[in-house]
Amino acid sequence: MKWIFLFLVAALRWVPHPWNVTPIGAVGLFAGAHCDRRVAWLMPLIPLAIGDALMGGYHPLVMVFVYAGFALSAVFGRLFLAEKRSALRFGGAITVNAIVFYLLSNFPVWLVYYPNTLAGLVECYAMGLPFLWKMMVGDALFVTLIFGGHWLATRFLAPQGLRA
């Protein structure tokens, strides 16, 4: 079932969507909260790699940071959501995840595409701000769908003995 879910997430990258409004970060947060920590970091990377293999990636240096940022989403899922869940914890996980991803993914963009000066760094991060907000909206939407769907499935569909 997990593999079907990961392929579905990968397929969602082909559906027209605003930049950075994808389920990848939410999958990482969910995996961190629900999967073994030794493999949770792979859960967002598998659909990302499938999509990149089929669609083509970007500059290799940029992609290393992008993959690292999504791998960290599982760490934030474990830190914020593995033990207790509340609106505040979900909001914190979504916010920290998006900000760390924004900082990580824009740094190599500055190195590759902008003048390597303080002014270039500031311009790069300023140009990336709309993507930060879109990622926060996307993560909030998909966290709601994924965690909510899991809750509904375990509450109403799972046999009595299998409830989480």
Q: What is the pLDDT of residues 71-123, one digit of tens each?
A: 999 999 999 999 999 999 999 999 999 999 999 999 999 999 999 999 999 99
Choose between 58 and 83: higher pLDDT. 83
CB of 100 within 8 A of CB of 135?
Answer: no
Q: How far apart are CA 18 and CA 2, in angstroms?
A: 26
* Closest by Cα among 70, 117, 73, 122 to 96: 73
Q: Domains of the chain (ranges plus CATH)?
A: 21-162 (1.10.1760)
Q: Which tokens go with 39?
A: 């493999």
Question: What pLDDT score does 142 carry?
Answer: 93
In angstroms, the Cα distances linking 115 to 2, 66, 106, 112, 127 are: 43, 20, 13, 8, 14
In angstroms, the Cα distances linking 137 to 66, 95, 124 are: 18, 10, 21
Question: What pLDDT score does 136 carry?
Answer: 96
Question: What pLDDT score does 6 carry?
Answer: 65
Mean pLDDT of the chain: 88
